[in-house]
Amino acid sequence: MLTTTQKNMIQDDFEKFIKHLGTERRGLDFQLFGEYAGSILNFYVGSSLLSLAEKPEAALQLSKLFNAGMKNIISAADLQEIAEAISQDTTLNYSIIQPVFC
């Protein structure tokens, strides 16, 4: 189970990422979200901010944040499927997540 600190970290970093996209006048689409989510979660695991066992729950948390931004158009079943795909992704693209750390 994710701690409140971990949930806040995930949400705060996602909000930083969204804010950065706004400054670049870019929108967040499904593909970019997937690249961001996979990379940030793999960074968290590699940095011991999340355990590998916590990654699926963190992926669901991120997917719910994305869905909220999309006015909750994604069904709960589809959110589970998206989170599962994200949690299995091993990609770590620093150029995608770099704006979070500026």
Contacts (Cβ under 8 Å, ≥6 apart) of 102: 20
Which among 10, 82, 12 has a CA at the least distance from the CA of 50? 10
pLDDT tens figures, 54-72 = 999 999 999 999 999 999 9
In DSSP notation, 45-97 reads HHTTSS-GGGHHHHHHHHHHHHHHHTTS-S-HHHHHHHHHHHHH-----HHHH
92, 39 Cβ separation under 8 angstroms: yes
Amino acid at 18: I
pTM of the full structure: 0.94
* Beta-sheet strands, E only, within the chain: none
| Residue extents of the structural domains in the chain | 4-97
User: What is the tens place of the pLDDT at every residue in 69-101?
Assistant: 999 999 999 999 999 999 999 999 999 999 999
